[in-house]
Amino acid sequence: MVSGNWLFHILLYEATEKRVIYPPNRQKQKRSVAMAEWAPIREKRRNPAIDILRGFSLFGILMVNMLSFLSPYLYINPYDWFKAEDRAIVTWIEVFFQSSFYPIFAFLFGYGLMVQKQRAERAGVEVYQFLFRRLSVLLVLGLAHAWLIWPGDILAAYAVFGMMLLPFLKLGGKVLMFGGAALFFIPHLLISFYLMVMAIRSPDASLLYTDWRNATASLQVYANGSFIDITKRRWLDWYAVYGPSGTWHAFLSVFPLIMAGAGVCREGWLTKRRIPAKKWLLFFCCCFAFGLFCKLLPVIVAPILPFLYIRETIGGVILSGAYVALIELCVKHRLADFLRPVAMAGRMSLSNYISQSGLASLIFYAYGLGLYGKLSVSSGVLLVVLLFLMQVLVSDIWLHRFRYGPLEWGWRRLSYRNDKKG
């Protein structure tokens, strides 16, 4: 006969359901593990490289967006529009910033989706119901941001493409990584080749022109219009990017990067530290050299559509790979503490991204200071540095008192519910 003390260490089988029944202490232990998986990640367990990359990307995205806050950048030829003293700064921004920071954000968005999926599975949560609700909240926030604050919003696109990725999150990490890489590079290489052929056959068609009608309308409305007028103009600008003519370009530029980020997370490349510093250094050198070459093509050859397209797509993503490698090298060489303030901004990336747009709209649009079209690019760069330093300081102070940023808290409250299976 088995003594009572041993009963808690014996597995009992329930014949009708054919499942294992664990003793009470084991059940409590399993529940506590599940709750720990579903609880917020504590600071000591966070990957500093991820937060630093998010903060670093916030600065780069703000630098690029500043060109559109102070001018109708969407509709102009920057080589003709800006004065000589500003043209060099614009070129510098286009080479080192333009299209090289949204890829990092998209990559990290896919990385975060996979993290959420894995943690939800370990916690016994209905994974896809939870992720769909989380992305739906982000979609609403992104559309509100685009139509009421800033037409260059990326959150709505991330939400839609994230929903499209959900069925593929079951795939292996290498399939997601290489599939994302192929889906990005093959179409963009083919389009670049097509544009090159068209430039040879019809040189005038490959030149960059200013859309004077929309540029003039933007100058008039953003600098002098009412909030309603500006909101209508915002919708037109957003539609120009994400409408029927721009949907496929947005998909081919964002979805593959989200897909690749999910694959990297599944493979654990940024968490298991399987990649030594020497390989990160080699990756940085290769990406920086080739990415910089692609980004400089419009400068060293000619600012025509084929070279501009290569710069904005292939060159931008490859250079972003160099930036990721650079941050990884900094973390491996124990510079994470030095970059901690940037990581604090990265932990509040949603709040900081929205607040960047809100502050800039109050500075430049007519319902605020009305500086649209009146500041030089050099003044805009200085403003970017000041705004980001302010965000770094505020983020550090905020996270010493609270666990989340304000919008991160709201997003979590609307996303996390009782989704336990069974």
For the chain, the average pLDDT equals: 88
Residue 109 lies in a domain: yes
Q: How confident is the model at residue 273 (pLDDT cuts 50, 70, 90)?
A: low
pLDDT beyond 80 at 167: yes
- What are the residue ranges of helices labelled H in 71-154? 78-81, 84-96, 102-122, 127-148
Task: Name the pTM for this structure.
Answer: 0.87
Q: How confident is the model at residue 43 (pLDDT cuts 50, 70, 90)?
A: low
Rounded to an integer, the average pLDDT of 330-342 is: 87
Residue 91 to residue 84: CA distance in whole angstroms = 11
pLDDT beyond 50 at 360: yes
33 CB-near residues (< 8 Å, 6+ apart)? 122
Poorest-confidence range of 33-37, 47-51, 135-139, 364-368?
A: 33-37
**What pLDDT does 286 receive?**
98
pLDDT beyond 50 at 277: yes
Amino acid at 59: F
pLDDT beyond 80 at 420: no
Rounded percentage of the chain residues whose pLDDT exceeds 70: 87
Could you tell me which residue, 40 or 123, shows the higher pLDDT? Answer: 123
Q: How confident is the model at residue 337 (pLDDT cuts 50, 70, 90)?
A: confident
Residue 106 lies in a domain: yes
CB 391 within 8 A of CB 355: yes
159 CB-near residues (< 8 Å, 6+ apart)? 135, 136, 138, 139, 142
CB 396 within 8 A of CB 344: yes
Residue 137 lies in a domain: yes
Residue 363: CB atoms within 10 Å = 18
Counting the structural domains of the chain, the total is 1
Residue 23 lies in a domain: no
Rounded to an integer, the average pLDDT of 316-345 is: 92
Could you tell me which residue, 80 or 291, shows the higher pLDDT? Answer: 291
Q: Which residue has the tokens 């929205």?
A: 354
Could you report the per-residue pLDDT of 368-384, keeping only the tens digit for each?
999 999 999 999 999 99
**What pLDDT does 84 receive?**
87
Residue 68 lies in a domain: yes
Residue 335 to residue 329: CA distance in whole angstroms = 9
Q: How confident is the model at residue 203 (pLDDT cuts 50, 70, 90)?
A: confident
Show the domain range for 378: 52-415
Q: What is the DSSP letter of 314?
A: I
pLDDT beyond 50 at 15: no
**What pLDDT does 272 receive?**
56
Residue 92 to residue 90: CA distance in whole angstroms = 5
Of residues 412, 107, 131, the one with CA closest to residue 262 = 107
CB 373 within 8 A of CB 82: no
Residue 227: CB atoms within 10 Å = 11
**What pLDDT does 75 receive?**
95
pLDDT beyond 50 at 316: yes
pLDDT beyond 60 at 210: yes
pLDDT beyond 80 at 411: yes
Residue 210 to residue 311: CA distance in whole angstroms = 19
Residue 249 lies in a domain: yes
Residue 342 lies in a domain: yes
Rounded to an integer, the average pLDDT of 228-247 is: 93
Length of the chain: 422
Residue 153 to residue 350: CA distance in whole angstroms = 12
